Amino acid sequence: MAEFLKTMRTDPTFLFVFLLIFGVIVIALGCLTPKNWFPTLPNDKLLHFLAFGSLALLAGRIAATAIELVAWLLGLLAAGALIEGLQILIPGRNFCWRDIAANAAGIATAATCSKVVLGI
Tell me the angle at which helices 66-86 and 12-31 cross, rounded to the nearest 10 degrees: 20
Confidence at residue 25, expressed as pLDDT on a 0 to 100 scale: 94
Mean pLDDT of 1-12: 63
The tens digit of pLDDT for each residue in 23-73 reads: 999 999 888 888 777 777 678 899 999 999 999 999 988 888 889 889 999
What does the pLDDT average to over 17-22? 92
| Average pLDDT of span 78-89 | 94
